[in-house]
Each structure stands twice: as structure tokens, then as C-alpha cells.
Amino acid sequence: MNAATETTPAAVSETGRVSLFDPVRFGLIWVQNRAVMAPMTRNRAANPGHVPTPVMAEYYRQRAGAGLIVTEATQVSPQGVGYPDTPGIHSDEQVEGWRRVTDAVHHAGGKIVLQLWHVGRISHPSFQPGGALPVAPSPVAPRGQAYTPQGSQPFVTPRALETDEVVSIVEDFARGAANAKAAGFDGVEIHAANGYLPDQFLRDGTNQRTDRYGGSVENRAQFLLEVTGAAVDVWGPGRVGVRLSPSGTFNDMFDSDPHRTFGYAAEALDELGLAYLHVVAPDAADARHAPPGWRPVPIGFFRPLFRGSIVGAGGFTLQGAQAALDAGEVDAVAFGKPFIANPDLVHRFRRGAPLTVGDSATFYGGGEKGYVDYPALAG
């Protein structure tokens, strides 16, 4: 795409209806359409080093028609692992594995960012170096089961991080951001959603600290802001995104005042020059597991608080995506499961073609079946 012919989101909206197929700018990342491939764990890095494999490069290459690909969550350190066969970005071998992925996507004309991840308490000693306890802001055990190589096991009570250890994890995110740059990505996304470590610091249901990372909403947001700022220091403004799930109850999450908590976080993140804010909408599962008094936070809540591009996520259809664009709530929409079984999802949307339904039995783990064998449309 030639910079002289690229159209800003504002210019598109002034000339008529914004379409999912219009180009858009995420900070310094120009993309060909507004359909984002959402981050989805697929558990295909089945090797001792958590190294991205050649079949993963093919998987992402097939989906390069997305305006932007956000990779599966990728741990920034061995301590950040919480699921089997998930890739990392903390070793030279992992960097080289991801380089094969970015080369494949770029050769196919796509753009791709790496999602940086630390699961915090959503881990198990079987994943931790030396069988150590998982770490968290506070020793609050989540309800539910950890998915370990030995099968499902109850979550354990995590160990609360010391203040100096929090600083070292910020450094892990900075190193992950630098490694992502060396691997050829177009940017990075901080995974601050779904009950993982930045989310655990942000919400008062999981953060009971009394140091500078706990107590007030300003203190609870500090870890997220430091992690994001460290990534911006590596990449510069305009190439770092952040994903939030303000209504999410997944992984036993709760906040007493999510509008205030996430409103403050959004306004503070806005000062960092992000490429985009990626917001997960409330869904039926959140409502089912919500505590009394739960008040969902809609994506549109963030529009007055964040001046940059907003990506909406959460079970969107093509019609729902266009409606959100028409309402001005979002600048782009992320699609998850539809991209699993429809590598050419955007092309199918353009043609009004039917979508293939994915085989849920092959979503997590395995080999090529249910991963790179879904066909594209002929012609």
C-alpha cells in the first residue's frame, strides 16, 4: 500500500460509511482492512523449548488476508508459562522460530504483532522452574483447574511477588518486546486481559497489596503501565497495543468497580502513544459466572477515554462488526474462531460466502489436522 494513497480513519468516515474492508491505521501500522485476527492459543509448539514450528508459520501465512494478525499469547519467561505447548519469546531459538512466521506473513502481504504474556497465578508448579509456586500480586488462589501435561489439576495458592520481583517481570516484558522486534514483527500487544498477570494487578479482586502496586486504582494500574511503557521504550510510540477484558470473569476474575478501574487504565494508557486499545466485550459466560452486583462494561465506554484506534472483540459476526463500525464504537473488529476454519475469512466476507465451522476437537494441540488443512475458497 502506497503511503500517498492510504486513507486515515477520520478521512474515511468523512466521505461515507466506514466499511470493514477499508484500510485503517493503528498508530504507525497501516493495514489493508479492519478485520483483525484475534489471539488464539492453539498449543502447537510441542517441543521442549516452546519454539514456534514450521507448521505454525504456514498457519499464520494462510491467514495473512486479515488486516492485522495478533499471534497467540506468547510467554515472556519460563515463569510465565501456564499451558502445555505454548510458544515463548525469551530464547534465541524462539526468536528464530518466530522469524519464520513473520517472514511467511510478510511475504503473503500481511501484518502481524506478537502478544506478550505472563499467566501469573493461572499456572501450576508442574510448569514452573524447579516446581516452584506460580506468582501473583497476592496469594489468592483462583477457583478451577489448571491444564497441565498430567491432566487437569486444581489451581494452587500462588506466591505474592516481592516489589523488586515485580520490577524484574517488567524487564522480562521489555526483553520480550525487544526479541519480538528482532523476530521481525510489526509491533507487540500486551496481554492484559482474561485474568493473566497484568489483569491480576489491575483488579481489586486479585490485588491485595499494600506497596506501590496495590491499594488505589492508580497503584493497581502501575504494573500494566510500566509493562506497556517498557514495550513502548523498545518500539517507540505507535507500535504497541494493549488488550483488556473489563467485564471478564474468566479465570475467576472480579473488580468492585470495573468502570472506574478500566476507565482510569484507558486514560492512562492513552498517554503512552499506543497503536490501539483491544477491548473484549462482555458475553453470556461472563454474566453466568459474575458475582452479585456485576455491571458489564461495553466497548463503547472507552471511545471518549481513548483517542487512538479501538479494536473490539467478542463473538462478532460480519453484521455485528459493521454495526459497531457504524456506531463509531470501534475502528476495527477482531474475529477469533471464524479464522480457525476460514483462513481466507476476509475474502469470504467480501463475497458473502458461507463460513466453515471449525472442529472444536482440534482447536488445542495436535498437528496439521484442524490447523492448516482448512481449504480456502476456489477462485
Structure confidence at residue 14 (pLDDT) = 46
**Is 3 inside a domain boundary?**
no
Domain count of the fold of the chain: 1
CB 79 within 8 A of CB 161: no
**Is 169 inside a domain boundary?**
yes
Report the DSSP pairing between strands 332-335 and 35-37.
Answer: parallel
Question: The domain that contains 267 carries what CATH number?
Answer: 3.20.20.70
**Is 372 inside a domain boundary?**
no
End-to-end CA gap in the chain: 23
d(CA 146, CA 7): 46
**Is 126 inside a domain boundary?**
yes
Catalytic-role residue among 60, 83, 147, 196? 196
Structure confidence at residue 292 (pLDDT) = 86
Q: State the DSSP string of 211-224.
A: STTSSSHHHHTHHH
**Is 379 inside a domain boundary?**
no
**Is 377 inside a domain boundary?**
no
Structure confidence at residue 6 (pLDDT) = 32
Average pLDDT, the chain: 95
Structure confidence at residue 4 (pLDDT) = 29
**Is 378 inside a domain boundary?**
no
Structure confidence at residue 231 (pLDDT) = 98
d(CA 218, CA 263): 11
- Picking from 174, 195, 187, the residue whose alpha carbon sits closest to that of residue 83 is 195
* Torsions phi, psi for 36 (to 5 deg): -95, 135
Residue ranges in the chain modelled with pLDDT below 70 = 1-16, 379
Structure confidence at residue 10 (pLDDT) = 37
Catalytic residue status for 276 = no
259: containing domain = 9-362
Structure confidence at residue 110 (pLDDT) = 98
* Torsions phi, psi for 242 (to 5 deg): -135, 135
**Is 209 inside a domain boundary?**
yes
